[in-house]
Structure 1
Amino acid sequence: MSIGGIGGGGGIQSILAMRQQIIDRSNLLQQVKTAAPETAQTGAAGPAEGFTGALRNALDSVKETQAKSESITEAYQRGEVTDVAKVMLARQEASVAFEATLQTRNRLLSAYQDIMRMGV
């Protein structure tokens, strides 16, 4: 029996796995948030390294998400994975991660351009 179009135990397991990923990312953001004031007190290089590290971690996470989506899609094409919902969920997650990265890049570029237009 399915609930709301989600099939059996596999659907629930993927939802629980996604929930755990959200919780893990939330915990990581909390750690970054609490570590930021500590790095600000260490000196001028601290915040820049913190921002660079956070950006690098975010990009690595997007890269891993896209690689996972690609591997699941290829496994589906080979007939190894039969759960279409799992494939579509992975592809959608990769799409959302890429879109968020693109929007972040656009905002950073806009902020850079605004700073460059400022008078001295």
Structure 2
Amino acid sequence: MTAISGIGAATGVSDIMHLRQQIIDRSQALQQVHSGNAAIAITPSESTGSSFTGALKSALETVNQTQTHADAVTGAYETGQVTDIAQVMLARQQSSVAFEATLQVRNKLLSAYQDIMKLGM
């Protein structure tokens, strides 16, 4: 078994956190528009949407890879191939943090969607 590389997991988590920040920024802009305090009109471009979609897909794939790696390391520990429990625990923790960040992004997306639906009423 090779050693755990935190670079891939950190990149995935940082991508998710970047997406989360984009969602928060857009949500705040929507709230300003809804309250009538917006100084400029918001016009999303097509490239913004496609890059957001690509970034979200990439982040989800990274989270999936992190979870798959944690499962593989856990299985290797259970069969005696890996004897370093710290390596197993680190992989499980990275997987847990990545999944939790994904849940937070999902919650923000749902909140933004609900805000948009309220604007249409």
Which residue pairs with 1:88 in the alignment? 89
Residue-by-residue CA offset, 1:39-66 (whole Å, 9 max, x unaligned): xxxx942111100000000000000000
Question: Normalising by structure 2, what TM-score?
Answer: 0.65
Which residue pairs with 1:106 in the alignment? 107
Runs of 4+ residues deviating >3 angstroms: none
Q: How many residues align?
A: 90
Which residue pairs with 1:70 in the alignment? 71
Task: Report deviation, 1:72.
Answer: 0.2
Counterpart of 2:70, as a letter, is: S
- 1:72 is paired with a residue whose SS is helix
By relative contact order (CA 8 Å, sep 6+), the higher-ranking structure is: 2
Counterpart of 1:115, as a letter, is: I
Question: Structure 1: 5+ residue runs without aligned partners?
Answer: 1-12, 33-42
Which residue pairs with 2:11 in the alignment? 25
Question: Normalising by structure 1, what TM-score?
Answer: 0.66
Which residue pairs with 1:115 in the alignment? 116
Q: Distance in 2 between matches of 1:93 and 1:51?
A: 23
Residue-by-residue CA offset, 1:68-87 (whole Å, 9 max, x unaligned): 00000000000000000000
Q: Distance in 2 between matches of 1:113 and 1:104?
A: 14
